Amino acid sequence: MAETNQAHEEIQIDLNTPRPDWYLHISPFGRVPALKVNDHDVVLESLFVAEFICDLHPEANPLTAERQIRSVLGMH
Ligand SMILES: N[C@@H](CCC(=O)N[C@@H](CS)C(=O)NCC(=O)O)C(=O)O
């Protein structure tokens, strides 16, 4: 989201403690990342989150996101 320069709220989830109930409503397995789009919709899975953001904001640099994902997945 930072790549888009759009207003957003980033909440860090402490993975070393039990997830709060409000987060389990968003991400039932308690995994990160999760992108809450509105009151009804959530995007889970980092690849889907990146794709969703890039589709909405093509001016953001999709290649940067793709490179980051490939790096995380060890796909260089
Ligand atoms: N395939 C998922 C993996 C998500 C995932 O496993 N995230 C880790 C952090 S990098 C996590 O939430 N670990 C805590 C847990 O599984 O409880 C994705 O790409 O979003």
Angle made by CA atoms 70, 57, 10, in degrees to the nearest 5: 75
Question: With respect to CATH, is domain 2-72 assigned 3.40.30?
Answer: yes
Q: How confident is the model at residue 22 (pLDDT cuts 50, 70, 90)?
A: very high
Beta bridge partners of 2: none
Q: Domain ranges in the chain?
A: 2-72
43's enclosing H/E stretch is: strand 42-44
Task: Name the residue with higher pLDDT: 1 or 73.
Answer: 1
Q: How far is the CA of 71 from the centre of ligand 1 (A)?
A: 15
Rounded mean pLDDT of 25-36? 97
Q: Per the confidence metrics, is the pTM higher than 0.85? A: no
Q: How far apart are CA 13 and CA 31, in angstroms?
A: 9
Mean pLDDT, residues 42-66: 84
Name the DSSP class of 42.
Answer: E
Percent of the chain with pLDDT over 70: 84
For residue 47, give the ligand 1 atom closest to its CA. 19
Q: Is the Cβ atom of 43 under 6 angstroms away from ligand 1? A: no
Enumerate residues 6+ apart whose C-beta is below 8 A from 64.
3
Report pLDDT for 1: 87
